[in-house]
Structure 1
């Protein structure tokens, strides 16, 4: 169907009965979308007689007379959406009435359905939901012809009833931008927010808080924001600690209207607070809201009494609130109680105090559970609890301001984590409210889209559609850049988004330190440095392919978050390397000090470009959050890393690094990591001096199987020599020496080969080398299900490769003999005691009585039961050391011990508690040295693994 041709556009019809309000605004927005694509803006008419030969008819069944006439005449079929919530029908009709040859009809089952359908057509035209908030410009064309195959659509009902996000108003970024662009958090700002939310098929919003007051900040009059939300059909809420329509900051501003005390303490200031709440109800009662009940302490703090006292006080508070709602006819209005942080304890109760969960007063209240502020669910309903009539909700975080540290800069939550956690929430019956804290909103564009799409169409993206996050990301990139990038570029850009988020997910940028990644073990620091460098190269490569029209969008959505995140990691590792080489007395320290300084300057430049250089300065202030070197829970005291340098003095030749281990030698003998005939590694030796004049060196080997790659024989700062083995000349264990000498001395490097005989070792066996067997969880030789529960792989989820988890995920087992298990085949090279280290995703207790238990064992031995959650673990409590370590390191690490004989063994890993996500297993002949990611995967004999293990 041709919508625009040669400067002529089909008119848009909206019934006069629906013209005043949100649908008019959406129709105007839709007309602007058409103009953005074609340069031609269609007229909007309200009378059927004003229609031309081609028309676009927008309206709600039962509200639009023209749509109702065509339904009655059998020309428009809305049977698939009738009586449903938030559905739409898109249909092209030939000759629907006199004078109209064809009409594109967008009919909704209700107002939001009509709006969703209208914006669905905008997406067909190539207009991204992020057209305003990321400056994604659609392809320009003079002919807008929508294919008929796309114009026969009946949408489904959304999977989750209330779907939205929370603007956490975290200064300095969002607040600076809003006040600069709009003057305040007023209706001009919220018009943009509401439109974005509706384009993303959301319907629910927690507005900005702390410094903002939604029902007071209107520009034309105080309630303008609330009135605008009603027009658009947006259901408003308030955050978990802002009851009965009142913003958190309102109380201290107006408390004198209700009494003399400013105490936010119901026990001591009941009458004034009750009157304050009543005014909130009186003010907002006519607007659509999901009403927050309950109460927390001042500024989102805990209540002050004992558990028993606080539970009884909460009951009094809720009874008072419900009585107020009844007084104003709102007793049937939807209500929600947030079980957040310590309130969770009041819900479930303690040994000394009965909780609220069986209190009949709350039977008509949706219970909003929460994650631990770091994307890991805290509790989920079990058994019959899942079927409570008022349902359940989940408050999730992509951004957090609190302990053990805040993260408010760029996205640090991979989509795979969102999928795993929120799919579990849905499977446990949490289907009424999904709200996600997005902080400043930008640059969270991708995860916000994903979260809302998952909530809208769980069937397409949820549990039954495992491992589709890659597909989703490519689809999302195609929506933003597909008309300007070929399929290879789309996949490449999607890979950048996945890689930078995974990098941030393993350690948030704010708390990367110069020594986070080990310089001494597994060449770890240099490996992550190489990964960051490749990420930067990819962002630059695709940046050159993006046309000028989309450069601003690419910078916001891809280039900045990826390049800036990689730069922070590089900055910290460079600083660590400078310190390492300074300790060795090597002038190479100065090189890395210079690179650290360049990275710091790069960080400042990227922020400056975002705030002032793109989109004509549109985003001034939006990217202003401190994001490096946190020393407190918040940004107070943050600093860039301090590099180290040395004063060049003439000194002896030295080896300052051996294969990224941080080992340094000025004399004597250095040792390379042992070569094996299995992995056939090449190792590096960095040679340096402390001088400023440089000097020559030479190297000699004692064995003909040692091969050297000598880049040159003159040292200014440092040279890296690659040492490898000519394997055709080696048939067994042996050793040799490399003597590196210069005018100021010599150092000997010992090279040794550990020849491992694999005769009789079956395929698919992990082999012990360097006293370690490291196994990625997906690389099993067998997976055994039990009672319909089986282990499945979650691709790209975890700190290194992937993860495995039991599905259905709502089942737990009490004994290993009853549970599903994974099998791995290992070859150990000595008799003795081994440690098995399990790396498990940082899941919390999912119920007050559950843990995160598993069992591990070898043939002939009873499996050892362990719990990944240590005694006293309390998810979400920033005073709890084990939880703080888990979320900072993004892993649980648990060790069991096993006595083994030399040879081949079968390791079984049994899942016991629901929610367990295994990422890696490491079997070691002794304790593992420090590293952040653990050893790289070990050699495996020519693989014969399970079907999807590779």
Structure 2
């Protein structure tokens, strides 16, 4: 093993790029970027040397095959074998070579199969020296070192070919946040800004981009000259495209700005203004024709709207448009340049056609066009290729979303997409043949850094993170955490940061902050609001703890990558729950009304202060304006409707009045259940009695219990506003169903609270039996007693996926079944307490039908009964249509909920759940007598015998 020195004793190895290479311009940019990385770590800036005569001692030589004289000579002499990367896309090989040329002792040779491969190889060394891809866009500072010395084992590597051909992101919905920051920092969306963006994409091993377009014109906004942005992208090797409604190199804003050059008719309507629009497109092609691009074809209405005709008229109009575009491409010699048509929103209707008009799906004019499908704007794919279509020559793409501006509600603030969801949906897209383009709408880019990294790593190395990536999102999160903070803190803190990233994305993935309200979580049923609030407070506290422990130089990076998205999201949850409690106690005229009003106000202040710190103080004010998006209380799709929660205050009169409620309700009743022989708690472990004051005078309270098995944390005291009394049951003193009561007295008032302790004997029940309590059996999907594989399709666990514990999904994801008896099933064991009619409530992920005619069916059967077939998608379900309330509710609540009815006898039962349609993801099953009480998550999981899974 040989050690190779890049920096030592105040000297650095030089970097050589061949000036005669066709890739010189781009490699020079990246070589300079790499030199800055070395300087950031060591304080020494390597020289970028264009003349090989100046090379000596140790050097870095970078270039692609056929574009670097030294590298080509090493290949010819057999010193470097490039067989494994030659003629492949975007591959590189890094190798230590002794005496590559006269005067040079050692070279680190980075040879690429093409320009992008070489660039990835250079930036791989940047990562090796400790520079994160987020060095600029999240201020992740590398550890300072005086020497950079690596073994040849660390340096010698041959890369894989990327899994997905085009991989990138879309800067969209960029006002007010990204747009404010860009104009503050750079003046406009110009080449100085995009230089930073292009480097980020390449560091993340992406190669494709849709630029910001709300107010910008990418190919005209150059600072030094109009086309500077586009030409810089070409130099870097970034393949540029335009969004789904910006055809032929033309930005959406361009027509608005310059349509007067083409006609007195300003209407963006091909049916009435074809000549002007055609000339407009022709000029776009002439302007950008020499630059590497993916050309968007097709047309949508003005300002991202639908075409105005009937479906049949729009299909024929769209065909006419595409014929015109194809003619223009041929006239400009661009007929062989990659083209893409995006099947987004209403265009999906034109793709499939109607009974009276054949759609674009079978139109041979599109045989050489990549068809880009889309999710439903909430990260659930909505159309995937059927089996006969998956291998089409020009392939398939996917337009995915981490950000969305539109109905039913916008979400443009912080990351709300768990990695588990990205894995589940995008691996399914890949299984269906979507492997040519992956692009994600990342909004303002910040603060979506975490999922952007994952999305591009998944697209680049699908073998590791996709095919073999089930239940690896935790591993990825730890890897990403170490990349950003591994040099700053110890293993325990890294584990803590990992848990925060997982925790806040789980929380916000269940219900986005923009649509969390005072009544989202139940204050009465299942102690739900309290449980959610405790998790939010824990997230907030842990985030702050690790911020305080972070070395000063890493605090800014931690604040923007971890602390802000976690703590600010948790603060919104707290604010809304406090508002709900304020409303609850206002109706009861309790002094606690004012306490919770104050807590809401504290959360408001914190929200404003955290946003201001991000904009004005973090990183010495570098990110001014970046955190400007409204993010709370959306009442309609437009963020203009946002509002902080309404709170109430009461005027406390002289005197006092005792107000008592139990667990958020005025019902004076507590209950608990335990099971023999272990007296293990089942259902509620404790209930809370809230005693509060309805006046402004303190009073003494006293509590007496009727049985020694009723335990309280307080028996007397003084009330000024409110106090919580926890009611616990001493199960060692309860041997059968027992009833008791609590007497609470104060201010001349006496309240009686009934308490019931129920004991169930489970002696002899088999393992994995879930036991009914309080009329409910609730089972998390992964807690099976058995499962059966059919036709090589089997159910597998997706850890941490979904709103509660985890999920179960069928693999492979491309197979459906007509009959329940032919389908793979999951088996559960449970016991009910009496003969009754039960409702089985099924919770599945908010997956859409994967093809136009498919559904999301399943079947359930108890014991030997005939399976009951149900559909998680109601008949009138339309994915992605914000006028469709069924779909809207599914994406806002992140769940599909369906019910079936079953008559069961008292005793043991086996429940089988059959998966019929591909894509179905089961999360939870709840058996209940009658309708479940209102709540967001439903009942917590029931007790089961020896949970050993």
TM-score, normalised to structure 2, is: 0.98
2:907 maps to 1:888: no
> How far apart in 1 are the matches of 2:747 and 2:331?
94
Aligned position for 2:352: 348
On the 8 A contact 2:173/2:444 being kept in 1, the answer is yes
Counterpart of 1:506? 510
Q: Deviations along 1:381-415, whole A, 9 cap, x unmatched? A: 01110010000000000000000010000001000
Q: Aligned match of 1:270 in 270, 274, 279?
A: 274
1:2, CA displacement in angstroms?
A: 1.3
Deviation at residue 704 of structure 1 after TM alignment: 1.6
Deviation of 1:80 (Å): 1.4
- Give per-residue Cα distances to partners, 1:800-846, cap 9 Å, x unaligned: 11111000011000010000000000101111110000111001111
Within 1, Cα distance between the matches of 2:154 and 2:384?
Answer: 40
Query: Residue 826 of structure 2 aligns to a residue in which SS?
Result: strand
Structure 1 partner of 2:611: 607
> Paired residue for 2:865?
861
1:664 aligns with 2:662: no
CA contact (8 A) 1:14 1:45 kept: yes
Q: Distance in 2 between matches of 1:805 and 1:529?
A: 30
Aligned to 1:126: 130
Residues 784 and 828 of structure 2 are in contact (CA less than 8 Å); yes or no, is this contact kept in structure 1? yes
Q: Is the 8 A contact 1:653 1:741 kept in 2?
A: no
Q: List per-residue Cα deviations over 1:772-827 (Å, max 9, x = no partner).
A: 11110000001111011000000110111111100001100001000000000010
Shift of 1:350: 2.4
Corresponding residue for residue 919 of structure 1:
923
Q: Indicate yes or no: 2:10 matched with 1:10.
A: no
Greater Cα offset, 888-897 or 352-361: 352-361
Equivalent runs, 1:254-269 vs 2, <5 Å: 254-269=258-273
Q: Is the 8 A contact 1:650 1:690 kept in 2?
A: no
1:282-681, aligned counterparts within 5 Å? 282-650=286-654, 654-659=658-663, 662-664=664-666, 670-677=668-675, 678-679=680-681, 681=685
> How far did residue 652 of structure 1 move?
5.7
2:816 pairs with 1:812:
yes
Give the Cα separation in 2 of the matches to 1:118 and 1:746. Answer: 77
Residue of structure 2 equivalent to 1:53: 57
Contact 2:703 2:715 in 1 (8 A): no
Q: Distance in 2 between matches of 1:269 and 1:635?
A: 34
Q: Displacement of 1:22 after TM fit?
A: 1.1
Per-residue CA shift, 1:746-773, capped at 9, x if unaligned? 1111111122122332221011111011
1:26 and 2:33 matched: no
Whole-angstrom distance in 2 between the partners of 1:51 and 1:88: 23
Tell me if structure 2 keeps the 8 A contact 1:37–1:141.
yes
Q: Which moved more, 1:514-523 or 1:722-731?
A: 722-731
* Cα deviations by residue, 1:19-73 (Å, 9 ceiling, x for unpaired): 7511101000000000000000011112222112111111111110001111111
Measured in 1, the distance between the counterparts of 2:297 and 2:101 equals 52
Determine helix, strand or coil for the equivalent of 1:165: strand
C-alpha distance in 1, partners of 2:377/2:759?
A: 49
**Hey, what's the Cα distance between the residues in 1 that align with 2:946 and 2:205?**
49
Structure 2: distance between partners of 1:656 and 1:122: 63
Q: Deviations over 1:498-542 (max 9, x none)?
A: 111111111110011101000110000010000000001110111
Question: Which of 234, 251, 255 is equivalent to 1:251?
Answer: 255
- Counting matched residue pairs gives 939
Quote the Cα distance in structure 1 between the aligned partners of 2:468 and 2:315. 39
Is the Cα contact below 8 Å between 1:584 and 1:656 reproduced in 2?
no
Name the CA distance, whole Å, in 2 between partners of 1:212 and 1:781: 57
Contact persistence 1:125–1:146 (CA under 8 A): no
The separation in 2 between residues aligned to 1:251 and 1:587, in whole angstroms, is 60
- Structure 1, 442-451 or 719-728: larger mean CA deviation: 719-728
Change (3 A) 1:353 1:654: farther
Distance between the aligned counterparts of 2:552 and 2:708, measured in 1? 57
Structure 2 CA distance, aligned partners of 1:177 and 1:169? 13
Where in structure 2 are there 5+ consecutive unaligned residues?
none
Q: CA deviation at 1:651?
A: 5.8
What is the alpha-carbon distance in structure 2 between the residues aligned to residue 86 and residue 711 of structure 1?
72
**TM superposition shift of 1:675:** 3.5
Give, in angstroms, the shift of residue 490 of structure 1. 1.1
The TM-score with structure 1 as length reference comes to 0.98
**What is the distance in 1 between the residues matched to 2:521 and 2:599?**
18
CA distance in 1 between partners of 2:626 and 2:597 (Å)? 30
Quote the offset at 1:370 in angstroms: 0.1
CA apart distance, 1:147: 2.9
Matched residue, 1:714: 718
Q: Do the aligned residues in 2 keep the contact of 1:711 with 1:719 (CA within 8 Å)? A: no
- Indicate the RMSD between aligned Cα atoms, in angstroms: 1.2
Structure 1 residue 655: deviation in Å?
Answer: 4.6
Quick check: 1:157 aligned with 2:155?
no
Q: Which residue of 1 aligns with 2:914?
A: 910
Cα distance in structure 1, aligned partners of 2:756 and 2:512: 39
Shift of 1:78: 1.7
Report if aligned partners of 2:400, 2:438 keep a CA contact under 8 Å in 1: yes
8 Å CA contact retained: 1:836, 1:896: yes
Q: Does 1:216 align with 2:220?
A: yes
Moved over 3 A (4+): 650-657, 673-678
Classify the secondary structure of the residue corresponding to 1:268.
helix
344-353 or 819-828, which deviates more: 344-353
List per-residue Cα deviations over 1:851-904 (Å, max 9, x = no partner): 000001101211110000001100000000100000010000000111100000
Deviation digits for residues 207-234 of structure 1 (CA, Å, limit 9, x no counterpart): 0002000011011111111110111111
* 1:190 counterpart residue number: 194
Match of 1:933 among 913, 937, 945: 937
Q: CA–CA distance in 2 between the matches of 1:176 and 1:712?
A: 57
* Paired residues of 1:711 and 1:720 also in contact (CA < 8 A): no
